[in-house]
Amino acid sequence: MTQPRHYDLNHTSIWAKLHQHQRATRHMHMRELFAADPQRFQRFSLSLGPLLMDYSKHRITERTLELLFELADAAHLKDWRQRMRAGEAINVSEKRAVLHMALRGQAGDDFQVDGQPVMAQVLAVRARMAAFAEQVRSGAWLGFDGRPIRAVVNLGIGGSDLGPLLACRALRPYAAAQLDMRFVANLDGQHLAQALEGLEPATTLFIVASKSFTTPETLMNAEAARAWLLAAAPAEAVARHFVAISSQTERVRAFGIDPANMFEFWDWVGGRYSVWSAIGLSVMLSIGPAAFEDFLAGARRMDAHFLEAPFAQNIPVILALLGVWYNTFYRAHTHAIMPYDQGLARLPAYLQQLDMESNGKRVGRYGETLDFDTGPVIWGEVGVNSQHAFFQLLHQGTRLVPCDFIVPMRSHYPLDRHHEALVANCFAQTEALMRGKTEAEVLGELAGLDGDTLDMLLPQKLFPGNQPSTTLALDAITPHTLGMLLAMYEHKVFVQGVIWGINSFDQWGVEYGKQLARQIQPELADASAALAHDASTNALIAHYRARKAQS
């Protein structure tokens, strides 16, 4: 295949056709599309085992999808998908393969990096993780005073925190009751201090999770945690109470953790794609190796679907193309994630990193400036709480906000009628957002009012509707379905990156702030250091110094 060395999809006829199609169809209302086609749900929904995706509540027709599939073809999506699967260095700026799919692979899979098979090392680390997890879970792994581990504290940030944190919370019904799982990411000392509240050094295990093992937040927290342990324990206790997860053996050793207590992963795994690797150790400790395997199997199932299903039946591809439709052709700017499941409360945060660190870029993979809208602002909050907060804007504001509603059909906590009420709210929101409320309907509700009162109230009680949403209904939140869900979003982000010509696997944009923080920190500590920033930053540093001097 010959690939252009610069991005030109936005100058092709299919791009122009999509703009034209958007202009021609933008006044159509989904309410009318549903009225005109009793088969609309059947036409625009897909199932994969325990997952149902309803994408009928979108501003699309069959023609829209045809054009979007044409766009995917023009972007050589099938080739890029194959290149990722084959372990080619598609992370071009860092010259790395992108093989998170191998992390959930099984014996016999032929994943390769630079022509070398990788499954043996993946399975070897997974087996070591399982052996360790069994020891901790069974109480055979003892702390320095001979008692078993009762609390696990994961110290990591970004991809070394968000995935395991989300999975541990979401899969709490599967968790070992005897292990208290805690997560510390922030540099703010209160995060670690509060996480350690009530814990005993002798029964606490720390996981230092950092791919690079240079991330200052994680290393500062790890140093503080080690000091907390050593205030109560002899130096050799570190070996019983600290394990590391990293791709950097020497840095782990230099920190003082024996590489025998290190679980490795590799530079062909991006941090935000790493929950399937040793970074998932806290998840395995919590739910056990068998359930963790099921988590991987769910992701593997989604991988097979993504790699094999034709575009018209491909869940991640359709999800991605709908995002492109709104983002690039409707200029929607934002995308909301609404999980109707308390255990998925951190899903929006997880997807913020996955999506925005991957596709929040205005430069294409060959260094060219992209003059169209790329990755959206991802945000969201657990339902129904969000209904009582920002849904007003979704229903009656001025913004187009495509939403994902994620909801399990069965709860692990069948309290009276709670679950049915929760599901009712979820479905009701998607219906209200789609339908809206017409003037005739509002007039019916306001019967008896007239004059100024009616004039004032009528427009305020109208709901324009036509607000698009996808509903992702899972049979239940299980390790398997969570694996499917997260892998689905990974592939969605990949597809969008391909369409927009982005390398979704680097993150240069996070470096600059880190660089400046390294400069500013000593300037805060030394009141005599000369300041050469802009006037605002200089003044803020001076303000901090003054307040520090007073305290």
Which CA distances in Å does 111 have to 78, 104, 144, 392, 415?
A: 18, 11, 41, 48, 45
Among the candidate windows 92-100, 206-214, 429-437, 472-480, which touches ligand F6P by CB under 6 A? 206-214
Which CA distances in Å does 253 have to 215, 246, 250?
A: 15, 11, 5
In terms of C-beta density within 10 A (0-12 exposed, 13-18 middle, 19 or more buried), how is residue 49 classed? middle
Q: Which of 6, 514, 543, 548 is catalytic?
A: 514
Q: Is 516 in the site for ligand F6P (CB under 6 A)?
A: no
Residue in 137, 169, 211, 435 binding ligand F6P, rule: CB under 6 A? 211
Q: Is 100 in the site for ligand F6P (CB under 6 A)?
A: no
Residues 451 and 259: their CA atoms lie apart, in Å, by 79
Which DSSP string do the residues of 97-117 spell out, in sequence order? ---HHHHT--TT---EETTEE
Provide the 3-class DSSP secondary structure of residue 80.
helix
Is residue 514 annotated as part of the catalytic site, yes or no? yes
Q: Is 164 in the site for ligand F6P (CB under 6 A)?
A: no
Q: 272 or 492: whose CB is closer to ligand F6P?
A: 272
Contact 300, 119 (CB under 8 A): no
Q: Is 91 in the site for ligand F6P (CB under 6 A)?
A: no
Among the candidate windows 16-24, 155-163, 188-196, 439-447, which touches ligand F6P by CB under 6 A? 155-163
Separation of CA 151 from chain center: 26
Residues 452 and 454: their CA atoms lie apart, in Å, by 5
Q: 192 or 433: whose CB is closer to ligand F6P?
A: 192
Among the candidate windows 91-99, 117-125, 207-215, 429-437, which touches ligand F6P by CB under 6 A? 207-215
Q: Which of 357, 381, 490, 523 is catalytic?
A: 357
Residue in 85, 240, 272, 491 binding ligand F6P, rule: CB under 6 A? 272
Residues 63 and 77: their CA atoms lie apart, in Å, by 19
Q: 20 or 214: whose CB is closer to ligand F6P?
A: 214
Nearest 5°: the CA angle 278, 280, 281 is 70
Residue in 56, 154, 204, 218 binding ligand F6P, rule: CB under 6 A? 218
For the packed helices 77-85 and 479-500, what is the interaxial angle rounded to 10 degrees? 130
Q: 22 or 274: whose CB is closer to ligand F6P?
A: 274
Q: Is 159 in the site for ligand F6P (CB under 6 A)?
A: yes
Q: 10 or 212: whose CB is closer to ligand F6P?
A: 212
- What's the min distance (Å) between Cβ of 219 and ligand F6P? 9
Q: Which residues contact 256 (CB under 8 A, 6 or more apart)?
A: 226, 238, 242
522 strand-pairing partners: none
Is residue 441 annotated as part of the catalytic site, yes or no? no
Q: Is 346 in the site for ligand F6P (CB under 6 A)?
A: no
Q: Which residues contact 105 (CB under 8 A, 6 or more apart)?
A: 111, 119, 122, 300
Cβ density class 261-294: b for 16+ within 10 Å, e for less = bbbbbbebbbbbbbbbbbbbbbbbbbbbbebbbb
- What's the min distance (Å) between Cβ of 220 and ligand F6P? 12
Residue in 64, 154, 215, 469 binding ligand F6P, rule: CB under 6 A? 215
Q: 218 or 282: whose CB is closer to ligand F6P?
A: 218
Q: 256 or 464: whose CB is closer to ligand F6P?
A: 256
Q: Is 157 in the site for ligand F6P (CB under 6 A)?
A: yes
- What's the min distance (Å) between Cβ of 509 and ligand F6P? 9
The residue type at 76: H
Residue in 91, 210, 221, 496 binding ligand F6P, rule: CB under 6 A? 210
Instruction: Name the site residues for ligand F6P (rule: CB under 6 A).
Output: 157-160, 210-212, 215, 218, 271-272, 357, 507, 510
Return the active site residues: 357, 388, 514
